[in-house]
Chain A
Amino acid sequence: MRKEKMATRDAYGKTLIELGRQNRDIVVLDADLSKSTRTEYFAKEFPERFFNVGIAEQNLMGIAAGLAASGKIPFASTFAVFATGRAYDQVRNTIAYPGLNVKIAASHAGITVGEDGASHQTFEDISLMRGLPGMTVIVPADAVETRFAVKKAAEVKGPVYIRLGRPKVPVIFDETDYSFELGKGIILREGKDATIFATGIMVSRALEAADVLADKDVDVKVVNIHTIKPIDEDLIIRCAKQTGAVVTAEEHSIIGGLGSAVSEVLAENYPVVIKRIGIQDEFGMSGDAGELLVHYKLTSKDIVEGVESCLKMKKAL
């Protein structure tokens, strides 16, 4: 891991400019949050291809659908809570059902929204988007992965949900030897005692946890699941077979997100003990993002404890 830090929303904003230069069909939409979602970068360079619809998220999705139906590649951005919650039916019926080529790139997902509090923190967005047939769901772990994911999203046909964050997060990957394969997890560290499947900001925390566990002679595999849907079933099953114990880690509810997706795959194919690290079926609250990550048990220490309790369960079997 490098020392450098960057928010995934910043990487998104920059990548949109790259895409805009390469392809005239790229259009970007926002709902009065272009400064926060970083779509303002694109708006500055391509004002004629940027549409700020005002505070009207349902209309945002509807207009994006119409643009896609006419051959454009729209990226529609707002906060994740509004993109997936406020405009859910518009996303479901006018984007996902017809399979339209709309890219929903939503920022400020998860607890790290911080001080704005529960009304602005979503832990159910992955769950909502994952349940929609044909919707691809991507949660980048860092700025480099975001860049590759956004470019891939522009290439593939059909609706894509990209989950972005507010805070600066560690840059894990190296541009020069990173490759993004949609629907394929990335093994970041080999291990034999347990597997940690992590997504988003929890990936760097999982790597930290692995270091701590190594000092205690626990050898864990760390896998980055950037694509929650379609989920990498083969890899998940293989890792479960190799390690016999699985921990999932996500900045999302333990209901409906990565933890659920991994559990579903393993329950039907190769049951092993599983521990889900995530938000425990509750709403958020205001506070400093770092303090909230501690409060909601989303630190590397919590992952370490998750692995230890998982290994205890495995032994007891």
Chain B
Amino acid sequence: MSSIEETIKKLEQKTKIIRSYIIKMLAEAGSGHPGGSLSAVEIVTALYFHVMNIKPEEPYWPDRDRFVLSKGHAAPVLYAALAEKGFFPVEELWKLRKTGAMLQGHPDMKGTPGVEISTGSLGQGLSAANGMALAARLDGRKSRIYVLLGDGEVEEGQVWEAAMAAAYYKLDNLMVFVDHNHLQIDGHVEEVMSPEPLKDKFNAFGWHVVEIDGHNLEEIIQAVETAKGIKGKPTVAIAETIKGKGVSFMENQVDWHGKAPSREQMKKALEELGGVLDA
């Protein structure tokens, strides 16, 4: 087996663990957002377990790469990756959203190691990421900044203010993924308030644009490599995804945006995910 094949196999195994963590933590919490967490699993897994230069034992290492979860409601996918990576004990996951727990409903940088910026109010992460990219440049650091945006989230005007700024400042140490799962809360993104054509918009704003299958680990890693080679402009990967990916009854279901699975549903989902985690 070639080394990339081995890498992909290892990462695929990780995605099953991450998905299982997401399901179980949401069932334990009794509320939260499975759909947009599951659609981003491959992107987040590739970043945390292959791409990013980070040290879980030293979360504030200044030369680290950074991940900004702009769509903060997908906190479960970030928490799962951080726990699996060793930023904090996996047991914390089962206390998500409970009174007094470390893991808040939306990412809280003050309380949670590995969370780079507090999010939850949509549309603000890319601006903060611009700041991180500018600081890395000012300090002469090699850090790269990765951002995950929702496809409904890009309806926020601030996203485009930030997109304009990132291109203007030639932030080639910045890469954005748009989790293009075609759903938001009130329905299909194209029906509620279409941001299309997304590709043309980012192009017009001065970005390098690639379109990928957001569940294909190899394409994700390839896009990251491409972005590293693009000089003088930021790169965006518009990642075609399925909301609720990996759990049959959640896939493409708008109702699974923001509700937790029951115990029964959790068991079924964990089974579908290969039984890597006990209920």
Q: Which A residues are closer than 8 A to B by beta carbons?
A: 30, 32-36, 40, 52-56, 58-59, 81-82, 85-86, 114-120, 285-288, 291-292, 295
Contact = CB atoms under 8 A, between A and B. Distances in A.
Nearest to A117: B105
B135 interface: no
A286 B101 contact: yes
B97 interface: yes
A291 B99 CA distance: 7
Contacts of A55: 122-123, 152-153, 155-156, 184, 193
B186 interface: yes
16 contacts: A32-B184, A33-B186, A52-B186, A52-B192, A53-B193, A55-B152, A55-B155, A81-B121, A86-B121, A114-B31, A117-B108, A118-B104, A119-B105, A120-B120, A287-B101, A295-B99
A59 B99 contact: no
Interface of B: 29-32, 72, 96-101, 103-106, 108, 118-123, 152-153, 155-157, 184-186, 192-193
B54 to A, nearest CB: 24
Nearest to A40: B186
Contacts of B152: 32, 54-55
Most buried by B among A55, A285, A288: A55
Nearest to A287: B99
A62 to B, nearest CB: 10
Contacts of B123: 55
Contacts of B100: 285, 287, 295
A176 B121 CA distance: 41
B271 to A, nearest CB: 26
Nearest to A36: B185
Contacts of A30: 186
A103 B154 CA distance: 26
A295 B120 CA distance: 22
A116 B33 CA distance: 10
A115 B142 CA distance: 37
Nearest to B189: A54
Contacts of A82: 121
B72 A119 contact: yes
Contacts of B96: 286
A36 B186 CA distance: 10
A285 B193 contact: no
Contacts of B192: 32, 52, 54
A117 B193 contact: no
Contact of B29 (A53, A58, A115, A291): A115
